[in-house]
């Protein structure tokens, strides 16, 4: 099952264990979608908050179905103590819990949810294939069919979000889509330079290093661009250095995922490594620097 990072170490032995696993998986997804929804609400993005709230509600509905099935067939609620091994990771927020909300949209949120459901489908398909007891195999197959239904529903919603986003882009006025990493690096340097001039001496040195590095990146990329997948294109530039640094980090990582030429892949990974280090420092220290300016 290529969608799974790891596979269950042993077959599921009882229906009680199967229900406990299913309950734990649905509970984690519900909680993590709810956390992301809360963050989107705090960040002032009610559209994405509503999407993640609905995803959380859907998972809570699945949670209730598992509990009902367990009580109906075994007369008791799922018991997490019956899980004998660490459940393989099927939920991945793909950075949604930390990414700047301006870099996320409905299509990407739903695409992430689709991939989570696909991993859950792969997990239950694996459990069914490894089952040694007919009732375990049948129950796991039922779980897999349920997850496949969720995949189909979310895929339809993702398509609608894609076309809605495309219509908005086609109808919006002015300018080309921002996709050139050299331009973005230059823009980041321009945003950081005045901040560096006002920073205390110790931080000023680091900030100026980032300014020079960004300008050097821009020069390198003008001469030899790194291809960026179209899924990460934006029309509006973030006006926050942290958001822009995050966008550049994402671009380099996406490029590394899509490149097949080994030399170009290593180059993209080098850019990504430097971008990650830069982003980590900006996330940690830039808010404090701005706070000190305001005092």
pLDDT at 47: 86
pLDDT at 172: 47
Domain that holds residue 193: 181-294
pLDDT at 170: 54
pLDDT at 81: 93
Distance CA 268, CA 16 (A): 47
Distance CA 293, CA 295 (A): 6
Total domains, the chain: 2
Residues 201 and 111 grouped into a single domain: no
pLDDT at 221: 93
Distance CA 255, CA 264 (A): 9
Tens-binned pLDDT, residue by residue, of the chain (295 aa): 346 667 788 899 999 999 999 999 999 999 999 999 999 998 888 888 999 999 999 999 999 999 999 999 999 999 999 999 888 888 888 778 877 777 778 888 888 898 888 889 889 988 999 999 999 999 999 998 888 888 888 888 887 887 776 655 555 444 444 468 899 999 999 999 999 898 888 788 889 999 999 999 999 999 898 876 544 455 567 788 988 888 888 788 778 777 788 888 889 888 988 888 888 788 877 766 555 554 4
Distance CA 169, CA 253 (A): 24
Residues 133 and 220 grouped into a single domain: no
Residues 54 and 76 grouped into a single domain: yes
Residues 246 and 268 grouped into a single domain: yes
**Residue 280, CA atoms < 13 Å, CB-side half-sphere:** 6
pLDDT at 55: 92
Residues 140 and 210 grouped into a single domain: no
Is residue 255, in this structure, part of any structural domain at all?
Answer: yes
Distance CA 280, CA 101 (A): 17
Residues 118 and 144 grouped into a single domain: yes
Distance CA 146, CA 22 (A): 12
Residues 133 and 274 grouped into a single domain: no
Residues 39 and 92 grouped into a single domain: yes
Query: Please, what is the Cα angle at 80 between 77 and 81, to 5 degrees?
Result: 115
Token pair of 249 as six digits: 């980090």
pLDDT at 151: 84
pLDDT at 214: 96
For the chain, helix, strand, coil in percent to 5 are 75, 0, 25
CATH number, residue 72? 1.20.1260.10
Is residue 233, in this structure, part of any structural domain at all?
Answer: yes
Token pair of 116 as six digits: 């989570």
Residues 154 and 188 grouped into a single domain: no
Cα separation of the two ends of the chain: 55
Residues 125 and 264 grouped into a single domain: no
pLDDT at 277: 81
- Alpha-carbon torsion 228, 232, 237, 242, what sign? negative
């Amino acid at each position: 099952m290529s969608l799974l990072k790891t596979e269950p170490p042993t077959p599921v032995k009882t229906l009680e264990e199967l229900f406990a696993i299913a309950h734990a998986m649905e509970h984690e997804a519900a909680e993590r979608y709810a956390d992301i929804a809360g963050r989107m609400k705090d960040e002032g993005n009610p559209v994405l908050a509503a999407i993640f709230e609905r995803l959380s509600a859907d998972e809570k509905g699945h949670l209730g179905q598992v509990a009902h099935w367990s009580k109906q067939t075994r007369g008791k609620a799922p018991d997490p103590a019956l899980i004998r091994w660490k459940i393989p990771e099927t939920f991945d927020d793909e950075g949604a819990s930390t990414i700047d909300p301006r870099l996320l949209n409905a299509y990407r949120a739903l695409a992430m949810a689709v991939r989570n459901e696909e991993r859950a489908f792969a997990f239950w398909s694996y459990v069914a294939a490894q089952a040694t007891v007919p009732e375990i195999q049948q129950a796991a197959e039922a779980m897999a069919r349920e997850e496949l239904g969720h995949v189909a529903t979310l895929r339809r919603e993702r398509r609608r979000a894609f076309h809605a986003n495309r219509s908005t882009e086609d109808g919006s006025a002015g300018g080309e889509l921002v996709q050139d990493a050299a331009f973005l690096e230059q823009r980041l340097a321009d945003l950081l330079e005045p901040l560096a001039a006002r920073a205390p001496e110790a931080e000023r040195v680091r900030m100026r290093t980032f300014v020079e590095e960004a300008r050097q990146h821009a020069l390198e990329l003008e001469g030899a661009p790194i291809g960026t997948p179209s899924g990460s294109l934006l029309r509006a530039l973030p006006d926050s250095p942290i958001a822009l640094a995050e966008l550049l980090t994402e671009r380099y990582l996406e490029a590394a995922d899509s490149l097949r030429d080994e030399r170009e892949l290593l180059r993209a990974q080098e850019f990504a490594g430097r971008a990650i280090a830069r982003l980590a420092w900006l996330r940690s220290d830039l808010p404090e620097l701005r706070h000190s300016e305001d005092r």
